[in-house]
């Protein structure tokens, strides 16, 4: 617990009676009892000052030992150090009775009696070890309560002394001085001075009292809570600054005492539930930080400040929230140039899976991976899909039966013979394309026919071929080249330019198994085989 007035450590609270709290404390003077007054009402203020005046009278008698009295704003208390001397009652000897009588006589005007005292007897004489602050007795009850000591409290009649002849002079002087003082007092009473109240807001209680100390005002304090202002400063005053006041006017000052609480326990709550709990406790939600943790997702795993920490109401509390366990990660390998089966195998080894497969016309072998998304080297969560772009080739339509030369009706002349074909390449090899032929500037998009063999030597056969040239290849003529590789080696079946939308069809003589390679604009467009 915090120390009272910064120097009295609280051992325990003995009891509380309204505005009075009684503590067992330890301070610089040692251990003892401390009476703490919450002076917020006229009754509390009157009780404290009655008690204080009684102690001042006891102090004048010399019967107090180490008693501390504080009448500072917000710190009204009396500390009684513990006295180890034996009890003074029942009294032993006339001297002790007389000392007790003097103490009771000093306390009677303040309505205290013998039962309210704790009297101890030291070697040097009587000591008052405690006086109950809230005790108050009617004047007619005090003699009965004081018992046998009442006769020691009656004033003894003074001996009548013979006055000297000049004894009237002091009396006359006192009468004159009294008349002057009375006149001044009557003047001040009938014509009291007026003061202008200064602005006390934002000042400490001590600074505020110093500014109005000579105005003769009745000052009262009350507490309020404002988290935006420092502690123990004046928040408001009544009357307002600039008001003209006279002595005796009541001045109320509002002292800032921000209320505080403790951060509630929020761990294992959901985020929404934790936010509601903070608002219900009078706090604001600060930053919400997400981290990976073993706790379920969207649950609070820690707070800052921690639960149970004292914190002024209205302050913010940060939340640390779980995102769940961190996902396993893996690196995407480079799949380009692999077959689709090889790419699928590597993806399974990397704990990834094939997503969409996009086909694209390409001279690469069918099924070869041309591209991938995401790119190689990307770090992905385990199980993420990968999109593959795979090579494919257009389908060439081959008739089931050898149709012979199929010429369209509008075709009236055979194709001009092209240049002499190069010597057949050795078996299994492909001749180099002939790039020496210039491309025609304009051709009619009409069907053309392959020249059929006039006769078949032994072991030869005819293979029907029909090659449509797509119209979406543009407006320029297309360079078409067909290469055949069979038992006789490789050779060009034809090498020409045609308009998009044309169709090449006919039959070609081959021997044994034959491989056909179709080039469009020197680009391998399609490859197929024909077996006997």
Query: pLDDT by residue (tens digit) across 339-363?
Result: 999 999 999 999 999 999 998 877 7
Question: What per-residue confidence (pLDDT) applies to 527?
Answer: 85
> Does one domain contain both 228 and 361?
no
> Does one domain contain both 295 and 251?
no
Question: 497 phi and psi, to 5 degrees?
Answer: -115, 135
Residue 403 has pLDDT above 50, yes or no: no
Any idea which of 179-183, 320-324, 528-532 has the lowest mean pLDDT? 179-183
Structural domain contains residue 188:
no
Q: Which H/E stretch holds residue 369?
A: strand 369-373
Place of tokens 């008739």: 399
Average pLDDT of the chain?
81
Q: Which H/E stretch holds residue 491?
A: strand 489-498
User: CA 329 to CA 168: how far, in whole Å?
Assistant: 114
255: nearest Cα among 238, 242, 277: 238
Domain extent, residue 226, equals 195-256
Question: What are the tens digits of pLDDT across the range 134-186?
Answer: 999 998 888 888 877 766 655 544 455 555 556 667 777 888 888 888 877 77
**Mean pLDDT along residues 383-404:** 67
- Structure tokens, 180: 């002057």
Residue 530 has pLDDT above 90, yes or no: no
- Structure tokens, 252: 């109320």
Question: 244 phi and psi, to 5 degrees?
Answer: -85, 125
Question: What per-residue confidence (pLDDT) applies to 438?
Answer: 45
Question: What are the tens digits of pLDDT across the range 93-127?
Answer: 778 888 888 899 899 999 999 899 998 888 888 89
Helix orientation angle between 42-61 and 94-107, rounded to the nearest 10 degrees: 150
Residue 420 has pLDDT above 50, yes or no: no
> Does one domain contain both 291 and 388?
no
Which pLDDT band holds residue 327 (cuts at 50, 70, 90)? confident
Is the whole-model pTM more than 0.85? no
Residue 436 CB partners (closer than 8 Å, separation 6+): 419
Q: Which H/E stretch holds residue 152?
A: none
> Does one domain contain both 471 and 415?
yes
Q: Which H/E stretch holds residue 483?
A: strand 478-486
Asked if 205 and 256 touch (Cβ cutoff 8 Å), the reply is no
Question: What per-residue confidence (pLDDT) applies to 111?
Answer: 92
Which pLDDT band holds residue 388 (cuts at 50, 70, 90)? very high
- Structure tokens, 249: 């006017």
Place of tokens 């020691």: 152
Structural domain contains residue 160:
no
Q: Could you tell me which residue, 428 or 106, shows the higher pLDDT?
A: 106
Last residue of a domain, one of 276, 292, 322: 322
Question: What per-residue confidence (pLDDT) applies to 225?
Answer: 79
Q: Could you tell me which residue, 150 or 487, shows the higher pLDDT?
A: 487
Q: Which H/E stretch holds residue 264?
A: none
Strands (E), 258-368: 260-262, 284-291, 300-304, 310-312, 316-322, 329-331, 353-361
Any idea which of 147-151, 220-224, 274-278 has the lowest mean pLDDT? 147-151
**Mean pLDDT along residues 505-515:** 89
Last residue of a domain, one of 223, 240, 256: 256
> Does one domain contain both 388 and 404?
no
> Does one domain contain both 383 and 465?
no
User: CA 171 to CA 173: how far, in whole Å?
Assistant: 5
Structural domain contains residue 343:
yes
Structural domain contains residue 171:
no
> Does one domain contain both 34 and 87?
yes
Asked if 387 and 340 touch (Cβ cutoff 8 Å), the reply is no
User: CA 344 to CA 255: how far, in whole Å?
Assistant: 77
Compute the half-sphere exposure of residue 195: CA atoms within 13 Å on the CB side of its CA: 19
Which pLDDT band holds residue 92 (cuts at 50, 70, 90)? confident
> Does one domain contain both 316 and 339?
no
Residue 413 has pLDDT above 50, yes or no: no
> Does one domain contain both 25 and 123?
yes
Domain count of the fold of the chain: 5
Residues making up the chain, counted from first to last = 532
Question: What per-residue confidence (pLDDT) applies to 84?
Answer: 84
If one counts every other C-beta atom within 10 angstroms of the C-beta of residue 529, the result is: 9
Last residue of a domain, one of 152, 174, 208: 152
Q: Could you tell me which residue, 472 or 302, shows the higher pLDDT?
A: 302
Compute the half-sphere exposure of residue 43: CA atoms within 13 Å on the CB side of its CA: 5
> Does one domain contain both 344 and 403?
no
User: CA 317 to CA 264: how far, in whole Å?
Assistant: 10
**Mean pLDDT along residues 249-271:** 88
Residue 439 has pLDDT above 50, yes or no: no
Structural domain contains residue 127:
yes
User: CA 127 to CA 149: how far, in whole Å?
Assistant: 16
CATH code of the domain covering residue 484: 2.60.40.2560
Structural domain contains residue 181:
no
User: CA 25 to CA 129: how far, in whole Å?
Assistant: 15
**Mean pLDDT along residues 226-230:** 80
Structural domain contains residue 167:
no
Q: Could you tell me which residue, 436 or 131, shows the higher pLDDT?
A: 131
CATH code of the domain covering residue 300: 3.30.10.20
Structural domain contains residue 464:
yes
The conformational region for residue 232 under phi > 0 = left, psi -120 to 50 = alpha, else beta, is left
Q: Is 79 exposed, middle or buried (0-12, 13-18, 19+ CB in 10 A)?
A: buried
> Does one domain contain both 315 and 335?
no
Any idea which of 162-166, 278-282, 457-461 has the lowest mean pLDDT? 162-166
Question: What per-residue confidence (pLDDT) applies to 371?
Answer: 94
> Does one domain contain both 269 and 228?
no
Read off the DSSP letter of residue 4.
B
């Amino acid at each position: 617990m915090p120390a009272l007035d910064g120097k009295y450590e609280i051992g325990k609270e003995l009891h509380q009676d309204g505005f009075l709290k009684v503590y067992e404390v330890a301070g610089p003077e040692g251990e003892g009892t401390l009476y703490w007054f919450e002076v917020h009402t006229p009754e509390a203020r009157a009780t404290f000052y009655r008690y204080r005046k009684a102690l001042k009278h006891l102090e004048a008698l010399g019967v107090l030992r180490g008693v501390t009295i504080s009448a500072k704003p917000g710190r009204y208390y009396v500390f009684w150090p513990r006295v180890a001397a034996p009890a003074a009652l029942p009294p032993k000897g006339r001297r002790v009775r007389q000392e007790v009588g003097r103490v009771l006589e000093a306390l009677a005007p303040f309505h205290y009696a013998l039962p309210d005292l704790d009297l101890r007897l030291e070697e040097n004489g009587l000591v008052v070890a405690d006086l109950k602050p809230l005790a108050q007795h009617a004047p007619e009850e005090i003699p009965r309560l004081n018992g046998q000591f009442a006769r020691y409290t009656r004033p003894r009649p003074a001996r009548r002394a013979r006055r000297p002849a000049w004894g009237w002079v002091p009396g006359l002087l006192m009468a004159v001085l009294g008349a002057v003082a009375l006149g001044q007092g009557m003047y001040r009473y009938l014509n009291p001075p007026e003061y202008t109240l200064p602005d006390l807001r934002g000042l400490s209680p001590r600074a505020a009292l110093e500014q109005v100390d000579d105005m003769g005002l009745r000052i009262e304090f009350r507490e309020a809570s404002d988290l935006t202002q420092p502690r123990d400063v004046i928040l408001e005053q009544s009357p307002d600054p600039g008001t003209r006041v006279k002595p005796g006017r009541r001045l109320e000052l509002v002292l800032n005492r921000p209320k505080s609480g403790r951060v509630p326990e929020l761990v294992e709550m959901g985020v929404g539930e934790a936010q509601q709990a903070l608002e219900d406790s009078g706090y604001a939600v600060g930053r919400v930080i997400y981290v990976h943790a073993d706790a379920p997702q969207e649950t609070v795993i820690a707070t800052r400040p921690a639960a149970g920490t004292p914190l002024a109401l209205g302050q913010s509390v940060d939340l640390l929230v779980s995102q769940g366990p961190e996902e396993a990660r893996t690196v995407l390998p480079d799949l380009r140039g692999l077959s689709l089966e090889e790419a699928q195998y590597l993806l399974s080894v990397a704990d990834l899976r094939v997503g969409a497969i996009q086909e694209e016309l390409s001279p690469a072998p069918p099924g070869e991976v041309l591209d991938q998304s995401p790119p190689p080297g990307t770090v992905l969560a385990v199980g993420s899909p990968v999109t593959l772009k795979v090579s494919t080739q257009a389908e060439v339509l081959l008739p089931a039966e050898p149709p012979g030369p199929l010429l369209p009706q509008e075709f009236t002349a055979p194709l001009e013979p092209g240049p002499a074909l190069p010597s057949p390449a050795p078996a299994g090899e492909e001749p180099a394309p002939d790039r020496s032929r210039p491309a025609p500037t304009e051709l009619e998009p009409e069907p053309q026919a392959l020249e059929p063999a006039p006769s078949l030597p032994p072991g030869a056969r005819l293979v029907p071929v029909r090659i449509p040239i797509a119209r979406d290849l543009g407006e320029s003529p297309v360079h078409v080249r067909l290469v055949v590789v069979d038992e006789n080696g490789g050779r060009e079946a034809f090498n020409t330019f045609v308009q998009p939308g044309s169709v090449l069809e006919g039959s070609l003589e081959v021997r044994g198994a034959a491989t056909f390679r179709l080039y469009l604009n020197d680009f391998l467009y399609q490859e197929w085989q024909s077996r006997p």
